[in-house]
Structure 1
Amino acid sequence: MSKGEIFGPDARLVDVMLDETIGRSTPDVEHERAVAIFDLLEENRFQPAGDEEGGPYKLALSVVEGRLVFDVKRENGEQVATHILALGPFRRIIKDYYMICDSYFEAIKMSTPSQIETIDMARRGVHNDGSQTLMDRLEGKLAMDFDTARRLFTLVCVLHWRG
């Protein structure tokens, strides 16, 4: 699916599962995970390239042997595609994102609104960079809109941090 094509009505995710064998993380990270999954399921555009039958889809995200795994199935459980990405291109962005998030959560406790806003703008910028990297790495494999990529990048961060 090229960037100019329109997604069909069923080109969407109806379920997202994270590899639970990694365990739980900090309350802030778990909150980000829960919000990202909720927002993702509320509104998303997602379709594996070349899938003529269409969705809706279920996505299982995991980290296996240092690689990010996207396992896509139809709502009925039928396997559609599995894509495996190296985590290397994401490591720096994820590290930067977590450093800025830590600063943001600390700033909320004791900084001025303008300082919080500055940190939040930086956080959103790094998050956008990570989302674009995700879209670029999945180009020709999984098509999605930018908002979907943003929410998936949050989940990739959660998996990477725990992994």
Structure 2
Amino acid sequence: MTTRRDRLVSVELDEASIGRGSPDIEHERAVAIYDLLEENRFAPVGTGEGPFALKLSIQDNRLVFDIRAEDGAPVVAHILSLTPFRRIVRDYFLICESYYQSIRSGSPSRIEAVDMGRRGIHNEGSSILIERLAGKIDIDFDTARRLFTLICVLHWKG
């Protein structure tokens, strides 16, 4: 684990904002949080040094980044419209369903083709997230990918 200060040390998803997902979705959530905490760059602009704790939630159709110091003291909250994410999240869920179906019964070439599409949509969502957080939170692409997975999980209502 990194010892840099511009990082997240905990991530919590607001349970009121999410429903329980399928085992595949719950697995994606756990892996994304684990990977995010193992390696990330997360630096809220103009807030001083971290490390930081993050609680993600959806409130009134907006994505809330509740950022706190490691000890729980409030740092800043950023609220983003979900509108720019709607299409990409919907597309991501559709291709994930195809991916999981392919894993269970598809040929290796079908699995590879669907996975390439899934990664492409995931990358697009990650780029949108970086753009939406510009000037608010400095993140790298890998951190954006893991956060985008969590945003998708927040949309999942079982």
TM-score of the two chains, using structure 1 as the length reference: 0.92
Distance across 2 between alignment mates of 1:40 and 1:142:
15
Are residue 29 (structure 1) and residue 25 (structure 2) matched?
A: yes
- The aligned length equals 155
**Gap regions ≥5 residues in structure 2:** none
1:38 alignment partner in structure 2: 34
Q: Runs in 1 of length 4+ with deviation above 3 angstroms?
A: none
Of residues 140, 152, 158 in structure 1, which corresponds to 2:153?
158
Q: CA deviation at 1:129?
A: 0.2
SS in 2 for 1:77: coil
Distance across 2 between alignment mates of 1:137 and 1:162:
24
1:105-131 deviations in Å (ceiling 9; x for gaps): 000111111110010000000000000
Of residues 137, 141, 146 in structure 2, which corresponds to 1:146?
141
1:14 alignment partner in structure 2: 9
2:63 alignment partner in structure 1: 68
1:110 alignment partner in structure 2: 105
1:77-100 deviations in Å (ceiling 9; x for gaps): 111110001111000000000000
Distance across 2 between alignment mates of 1:82 and 1:162:
24
Q: Does the 8 Å CA contact 2:8/2:37 hold for their aligned counterparts?
A: yes
Distance across 1 between alignment mates of 2:132 and 2:12:
20
TM-score of the two chains, using structure 2 as the length reference: 0.95
Of residues 115, 127, 130 in structure 2, which corresponds to 1:120?
115
Q: CA deviation at 1:162?
A: 2.5
SS in 2 for 1:162: coil
2:45 alignment partner in structure 1: 49
2:74 alignment partner in structure 1: 79
The two structures, once aligned, show a CA RMSD in angstroms of 1.3
Distance across 1 between alignment mates of 2:21 and 2:99:
18
SS in 1 for 2:156: helix
Q: Does the 8 Å CA contact 2:19/2:156 hold for their aligned counterparts?
A: no
